[in-house]
A and B are shown apart, each in its own frame.
Chain A
Amino acid sequence: MVTSNPYMVNMGPQHPSTHGVLRLRLVLDGEQVLRVEPVLGYLHSSKEKLQEEHTYLQTVPITDRMDYLAAMTNNLGVSLAIEKLAGIQSPPRAECLRVIMSELQRLASHCFAQGVFLQDLGAWGSPLMYFLREREQILDMFEMVCGARLTYNYIRPGGVSQDIPPQFTPAVNSFLDTFPAKLDEYEELLWKNEILRARTVGVGVVSRELAVSAAFSGPMLRASGVQWDLRKQDPYCGYQNYEFDIPVGQTGDCFDRFMVRFYEMRESLKIVRQALDVLPPGEWKAAVPIVIRPPAGEAFQMIESPRGMLGYYLVSDGGANPWRFHVRAPSFINLGALNEMLVGTTMADVVAIVGSIDIVMGEVDR
């Protein structure tokens, strides 16, 4: 009688196919996963405690470092939360610029997410390089605007930190002219690929009930059939004025999540085009003191970041520093149901599923 014993494998913090320092302790029986225990905290740098020592304006650059692949949306979230807390209203030009930057950031982040997902599946970097080439253009545009490529500190409470330079709009326009064709090309290259479909179709299915109960958000939630996007349900920054659709999947497998990101990229292109057309002239920053002292109270503001619903919960005691600064990190919460998603799958599927969740460890651990 041949018996097999379950054994524990450490998909360790350093691993070519985990996104950052995620450690998964898998108990396997042969190829099948029996139990998975994620061990987090390898990137924990107590940012929430740090924020309590900083003034409100100083909290913004620290939020850059949390979801470092989508820093614009981080800044947007915290700026909106501070504005809610302090009752600041940002001017219309700033709102429009915020929308443009958020959507460009969504494009860059999804490019990276798709590329890295395919890299994990074993396509030795070819799709990654193509996607990164497009992302480079976006990063160059961001560099034009605020001088940085990864951590921008551009969207601040009251508006944006500086106006766009004259070379920004032509750069965005030329990007908008060339990118859709490239996107179509990459999608055509990838979606019919037998091997990709064999690895992702039917793999990592997340039911609608699990997605809602585990508070998934972003493409993970929408791929499972829940039509929920904060830009439509609870619009901020004037998103109600733009016309765009929300792609929603039906099965909730890895392939759906992959394709939902493609479609979201197309919608983002639409929004950027519309926003550039209606960009109003005027002030790009409200008159906000350097040390903001909001009245005592609390504010909870969620926005739709590329990874999901990013929320900021700020509690003020009337002083210059926040009393409590909590970040509702979508990647952290999307990892919450990992056990349900991975049990019963094979080892190779683990890599595909974790890749399709699209996590950034800076956000997970804060």
Chain B
Amino acid sequence: MTAVMTGPALAEAIQGAFPTAVAEVYGDAVVLDAAALVDVCQFLKDAPDLAFDYMASLTAVDYLDYFEVVYHLLSLGHNRSAVLKLRCYGRKAPHAPSVTSVWKAADFQEREVFDLFGIGFDGHPDLRRIMLFEGFPGHPLRKDFLEFDHRKIAAMASEAE
């Protein structure tokens, strides 16, 4: 069985190397500080007893007050899983550091999050929309995007040009 590395255990492991990185421990997930994200991820990947070399999923959730970027990690060697989270405040132009330098898998998934949520990833080699067309008005998975009529969306897009 894949052992779930619980929040407290993971926080302890991270705080050993990065004392200020952990912002909060929330259930099974550890909420990190944006500034320390890339370093912590690199540490989690390289540390031999942690070895989280596989990033299973990168996604985001819109909690109205903030966006939360969720990273699900797996350690293939130790058969362990962990969850990292990152909170991005502000709805105009939220941004987060990119972890493409740590895991190649982040490339497409961060582009998808940018496309659908509007969260910019600093350090991403090629941050463009991936699913929707260039010029799409807005970011659909946000909770305040309520336009479902595709004709109106197309009209909005051509208006914006």
Contacts and interface: CB of A to CB of B under 8 A. Distances in A.
User: In the complex, are there CB atoms of A and B closer than 8 Å?
Assistant: yes
Interface stretch (A38-46, A124-132, A251-259): A38-46
A2 to B, nearest CB: 33
Contacts of B104: 210, 213-215, 336-337, 340
A336 B76 contact: no
Given A233-B79, A313-B72, A333-B109, A324 B131 contact: no
Contacts, number: 83
Q: Chain A contact residues (Cβ within 8 angstroms of B): what range?
A: 35 or more
Nearest to B145: A49
B141 A49 contact: yes
Nearest to A336: B108
Interface stretch (B10-18, B34-42, B51-59, B88-96): B51-59
A32 to B, nearest CB: 22
A40 B53 CA distance: 27
Contacts of B130: 40-41
Contacts of B109: 332-333, 336
B55 A215 contact: yes
Q: Chain B contact residues (Cβ within 8 angstroms of A): what range?
A: 20 to 34
Contacts of B79: 233-234
A313 B145 CA distance: 21
Contact of B107 (A48, A298, A336): A336
A234 B72 contact: no
A298 B136 CA distance: 30
A275 to B, nearest CB: 20
Interface string A204-222: 0000001011110000000
A364 to B, nearest CB: 9
A228 interface: yes
Nearest to A235: B1
Nearest to B59: A326
B56 A41 contact: no
A215 B54 contact: yes
A120 B18 CA distance: 51
Contacts of A234: 1-2, 79
A22 interface: no
Nearest to A332: B108
Given A212-B76, A234-B2, A336-B105, A44 B61 contact: no
B103 interface: yes
A340 B108 CA distance: 14
Contact of B53 (A49, A213, A313, A326): A213
9 contacts: A213-B103, A215-B56, A215-B104, A233-B79, A298-B27, A311-B56, A332-B112, A336-B109, A337-B104
Interface of A: 40-41, 44, 46, 48-49, 210, 212-215, 226, 228, 233-235, 297-298, 300, 302, 309, 311, 313, 315, 323-324, 326, 328, 332-333, 335-337, 340, 365-366
Give me the 8 closest cross-chain CB pairs, A-B, nearest first: A215-B105, A234-B2, A41-B131, A214-B104, A328-B57, A213-B104, A336-B108, A44-B131
